[in-house]
Amino acid sequence: MNYLQRGLRRTFQAIRKHKLLFCSIMLLQILFIVLFAWLGVSSVVEILENTRAIIEPLSNATYDAQKIQEGTPFTGDFRSIYNNYNSMLENIKFFALKSLIVFIIGNGLLWLGTFSLLEEKMNWKKIIQQGPQFWFKMIASAVLFFGPFLVLAYYVLLRFIHGSSESFREVILLVEVLMAILVLIYYFFLTALTTANEVSWKKHAHTWILISFAKIKQTFPLFIIILAALSLSSLALYGAIIYEQSIALLLVTGLLEIATIVITRLFWVASIYELRNQP
């Protein structure tokens, strides 16, 4: 566990040494979350409006088979339903695209800032050189790890939509298996991001294999610690939201959540650096 102690010490040393950069990353993390929330809320409002415009004509439609046979149209608003359906699909696509762009740019800047915190001196030339390489490796890692999972989850969803005979207990078991697979994928994705600042693709792949597999006995407990810290801060924020009696408590737990995300990311990278140097 010496690498964890050294990683924790290095984390707080980096914060003390680069206070301005740490505060900038905190502000960027807040901006990132607020922007994501704004995109989500605005897009959901538009999608719900489209949904309402589809449901209302259908609720007033003619469902009497005899009247339909006599010539009464099912609904006179086919064009409106069709247009709103297409608009809803477009809004979903734009939401996914905008979220992806914000995630790639924002997450990339946050990770590059985290790497810079662990440097002795700020080297903007190095950051600018590493930026495109890091973003490309991050996108490649996301596609490699999450792509197959999304395909698997999609086909599982289709199976249930088309009517399967599985019991509720089997459905819960399948969801639990998918969640366990997602956690494992997230572990590999995080280790890939930690080594994505390597300029060489070959060295990046070699270091990722070393950290993810050869040293999994040290890396995975660290990953569990990170998940536990994030879960506890999220539970505190959730409790403050449910309580609904104190804006100050909500702000404090919100800032705690932001600080936990930033510090655990820094602690993760610092500990991995220490683990890489450990024989």
Task: Give residue-wise pLDDT tens across range 128-160.
Answer: 777 888 999 999 999 999 989 888 887 777 766
pLDDT for 253-273, tens place per residue? 999 999 999 999 999 999 999
Closest CA to 47 of 80, 94, 79, 82: 94
Percentage of the chain modeled with pLDDT above 70: 86
More confident residue, 163 or 79: 79
- What pLDDT score does 17 carry? 92
Distance CA 254, CA 114 (A): 20
The radius of gyration computed from the CA coordinates of the chain, to the nearest angstrom, equals: 24
Q: For the whole prediction, is pTM greater than 0.95?
A: no
- The burial class, CB within 10 Å (0-12 / 13-18 / 19+), for 256 is middle
pLDDT (mean) for 62-84: 64
Closest CA to 201 of 140, 144, 265: 140
Domain locations in the chain?
2-34+101-277
Closest CA to 144 of 106, 108, 191, 97: 191
247: its two tokens: 């804006």
pLDDT for 225-248, tens place per residue? 999 999 999 999 999 989 878 889
Distance CA 96, CA 39 (A): 10
Distance CA 138, CA 144 (A): 10
3-state secondary structure (DSSP) of residue 239: helix
| 64 pLDDT higher than 60 | no
What b/e readout covers 225-253, taking b as 16+ CB neighbours within 10 angstroms? ebeeeeeebeebbeebeeeeeeeebbeeb
- What pLDDT score does 235 carry? 95
Task: Give the confidence band of 40 by pLDDT, cuts at 50, 70, 90.
Answer: confident
Q: Which amino acid is at 88?
A: M
pLDDT (mean) for 85-98: 85
More confident residue, 194 or 80: 194
Distance CA 178, CA 268 (A): 25
Q: Which of 115-129, 160-174, 195-209, 223-237: highest mean pLDDT?
A: 223-237
Q: Which amino acid is at 201?
A: W
- What pLDDT score does 25 carry? 96
